[in-house]
Amino acid sequence: MFPGRGPRIALAIGGLLLLQGVALLGHRALEDRRSRAVAAFRFERIEAVMPAPELVLERPDGARVAIAPGREGEAMLVHFWATWCPPCRQELPALLALGRRLSPTGRVRVVAIATDTSWSEIRRFFKGAIPAEVLRDATGRVHQAFRVSSLPDTYLVTADGLIRIRFAGAQDWGSKQAHEFLSRELTELIHS
């Protein structure tokens, strides 16, 4: 029908298939990088230990709540996150589950502080049922007091109210490594 165009069409189809293959490989590499970003469990000990500030936060009903880390005699994981942050959304369910596993022992309490500007996106993220551990930093003051520069960001506050460890970036909170590390760290802090 179109003399001489057969080889051109074949070349065009071959080129399109090659581009599709390159795009697929690029997508897989990106997914692998995202998986590795949460796969490692990283932390840094804070050398210049400082007392944790009082946390004045907002509950979903709009009421303000003040939490003084260390006054209740339990350690805290103070976690900063946002619904617009993909790594935050990915790791938060595992962090909340870890907190529930460790909480009955009285060893640690998780406080997940959303930095979102309103509760609407947070409600949507949790499909309406916001866990009790989730509060909002309506003023941004808690965020500033902890000197949070990126999300997600998590701090281990000891039972005596001191910020001892920072977990910068996304973590695999559901891993055996995370559970063992926190259990060991909390035991050492209790006996030191």
Instruction: Write down the pTM of the prediction.
Output: 0.77
Under the banding of pLDDT at 50, 70 and 90, the label for residue 86 is very high
Is pLDDT at 28 greater than 60 in this prediction? no
Under the banding of pLDDT at 50, 70 and 90, the label for residue 183 is confident
- Whether domain 41-191 has CATH 2.40.50.100: the reply is no
pLDDT on residue 64: 96
Enter the tokens of residue 60.
Answer: 């979903």
Residues 137, 98, 151, 82, Cα dihedral to 10° = -50
CA nearest neighbour of 154 among 107, 84, 94, 66: 94
Are 151 and 85 in contact, with CB atoms under 8 Å apart?
yes
Distant-in-sequence, close-in-space partners of 68: CB < 8 Å, separation ≥ 6: 54, 55, 161
- Work out the average pLDDT over 59-69: 94
pLDDT on residue 36: 41
Distance CA(168)–CA(80), nearest Å, equals 10
Is pLDDT at 52 greater than 90 in this prediction? yes
Model confidence over 140-169: pLDDT tens digits?
Answer: 999 999 999 999 999 999 988 999 999 999
Are 177 and 40 in contact, with CB atoms under 8 Å apart?
no
pLDDT on residue 82: 98
**Spans of all domains in the chain:** 1-39, 41-191
Task: Indicate the DSSP class of residue 115.
Answer: -
